[in-house]
């Protein structure tokens, strides 16, 4: 069997689609399908159940998947080691970050790191917490940046800094007159929250429930910019991370601190405990720590 066949097989399993897998692998879909079929013939077992547009792993496919991921991760590690041995300032660092962090933390970090290591390639993958964690486990990314500690024993989880959540209000809201607002005062207010796909929405609901009520959710969105615009238009209130407030240069919303106990979230870096880290990846982690320390101050 060939390495590219294993890559195509893993891509189909991860994407749940031959078409999406072909796009991810940058190959024509008929070529990808043909290579998967060759792999099935060599192993003498079908690897996928093809049920119309639905693709599922067979028992043989499930048996192969974990081993294929491990083999590909090992091959990538060998490539990284060879690159690092020839020039520790060259190579690729692949970073995963969730959407409520990536736009605010990453651009300045990538810019400063790129100046220090101009021959390095930095690849940023913006995704939700679960896919970012899975990518770390599969060896697809070197470092993940999320807003909760990882539950996996295979991942190292390092707290970087904590930030407050600020109350975002429409400019005409009565609470704008107050310097600080308590969560109790928001019990009857309609909320605009991130969708349940994002951990931030769940965290905000959890903060409210600690105060003895469930927030009334009027609108949901998948981007903080959408949340801020909906609040500015008077659709409700929300809790916004401090770093997003700092980037709101238009100041369409009014922001107020929340009274004690102030809701916060902690940003974590995660990486696979057993995965080889090139000197360049280690340099990036050091730069991330330094950058995070400035964010936390």
What pLDDT is stored for residue 95 in this prediction?
A: 97
Domain 163-264 in CATH 2.40.50.140? The answer is: no
The CATH number of the structural domain formed by 89-160+266-296 is 3.40.190.10
C-alpha span between 61 and 67 (Å, rounded): 10
For residue 153, which of 289, 282, 270, 284 has the smallest C-alpha distance? 270
What pLDDT is attached to residue 296?
A: 63
Tokens read off for 33: 């399908």
End-to-end CA distance of the chain: 53
- The single-letter DSSP state of residue 235 is S
- Supply φ then ψ for residue 65, to 5 degrees: -55, -55
What's the pLDDT score for residue 110? 95
Domain ranges of the chain: 3-80, 89-160+266-296, 163-264
Sequence-ordered list of residues with C-beta below 8 angstroms from that of 100, at least 6 positions apart, any chain:
147, 194, 198, 200, 224, 241, 244
Q: Which stretches of the chain drop beneath a pLDDT of 70?
A: 296-297
Furthest-apart CA pair in the chain: how many Å? 72
User: Is domain 3-80 annotated with CATH 3.40.50.300?
Assistant: no
Q: Which long-range contacts (CB under 8 A, 24 or more apart) does 175-182 make?
A: 175/237, 175/256, 176/254, 176/256, 178/256, 179/256, 179/257, 180/256, 180/257, 180/258, 180/259, 181/256, 181/257, 181/258, 181/259, 182/258, 182/259
Domains 3-80 and 89-160+266-296 agree in fold? no
CA-closest candidate to residue 202, choices 147, 126, 161, 131: 147
Site of tokens 């940023």: 124
**Contact partners, residue 142, CB within 8 Å, separation at least 6:** 93, 94, 95, 271, 275, 277, 281, 284
> For the whole model, what pTM was predicted?
0.73
């Amino acid at each position: 069997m060939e390495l590219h066949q294993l890559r195509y097989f893993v891509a189909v399993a991860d994407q749940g689609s031959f078409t999406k897998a072909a796009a991810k692998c940058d190959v024509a879909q008929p070529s990808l399908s043909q290579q998967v079929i060759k792999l099935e013939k060599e192993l003498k077992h079908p690897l996928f159940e093809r049920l119309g547009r639905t693709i599922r792993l067979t028992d043989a496919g499930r048996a192969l998947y974990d081993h294929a991921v491990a083999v590909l991760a090992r091959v990538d590690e060998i490539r990284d080691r060879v690159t690092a041995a020839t020039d520790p300032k060259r190579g690729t660092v692949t970073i995963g970050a969730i959407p409520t962090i990536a736009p605010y933390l990453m651009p300045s970090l990538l810019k400063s790191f790129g100046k220090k290591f101009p021959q390095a390639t930095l690849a940023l993958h913006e995704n939700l917490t679960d896919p970012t964690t899975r990518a770390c486990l599969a060896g697809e990314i070197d470092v993940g940046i999320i807003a909760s500690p990882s539950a996996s024993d295979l991942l190292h989880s390092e707290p970087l800094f904590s930030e407050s959540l600020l109350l975002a209000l429409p400019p005409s809201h009565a609470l704008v007159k107050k310097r600080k607002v308590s969560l109790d005062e928001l019990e009857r207010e309609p909320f605009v929250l991130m969708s349940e796909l994002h951990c931030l929405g769940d965290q905000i609901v959890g903060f409210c429930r600690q105060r003895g009520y469930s927030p009334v959710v009027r609108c949901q969105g998948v981007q903080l910019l959408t949340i801020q615009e909906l609040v500015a238009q008077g659709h409700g209130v929300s809790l916004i991370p401090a770093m997003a407030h700092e980037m709101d240069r238009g100041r369409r919303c009014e922001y107020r601190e929340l009274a004690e106990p102030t809701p916060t979230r902690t940003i974590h870096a995660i990486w696979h405990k057993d995965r080889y880290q090139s000197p360049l990846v280690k340099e990036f982690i050091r730069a991330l720590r330094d950058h995070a320390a400035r964010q936390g101050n």
